[in-house]
Amino acid sequence: MSDSLRFPSRKVRATLYLPPEVLDEARDAAYHLAGPPARMTLTKLVEEAFRRELERLKDLYNEGQDFPPRKEDLKGGRPIAA
């Protein structure tokens, strides 16, 4: 197990938008899994999902390597159409 999973780092607040049904389902899951053995929280659910998806994206698009640090902040608004 990596040190980042054994020794969680400080958390930062992130604002993002999700479809209401996805957020409701995640909240329902966190509510029903809050006790032992899962002890799930909404933060834990999202963090684990982000980590799994980042690993998948690194494998798919970056030969399993971390993406390089960004040179500027992300731009807000709608994504650029391809």
pLDDT of residue 9: 73
Confidence of residue 52 (pLDDT cuts 50, 70, 90): very high
Q: Where are the domains of the chain?
A: 18-65
Tell me, yes or no, if the pTM score tops 0.85. Answer: no
Q: Is 56 or 16 the better-scoring residue by pLDDT?
A: 56
First to last CA, the chain: 39
Residue 7 has phi, psi (to 5 degrees) of -125, 85
Per-residue pLDDT tens digits for 12-30:
999 899 999 999 999 999 9
Query: Span 58-72, mean pLDDT?
Result: 96
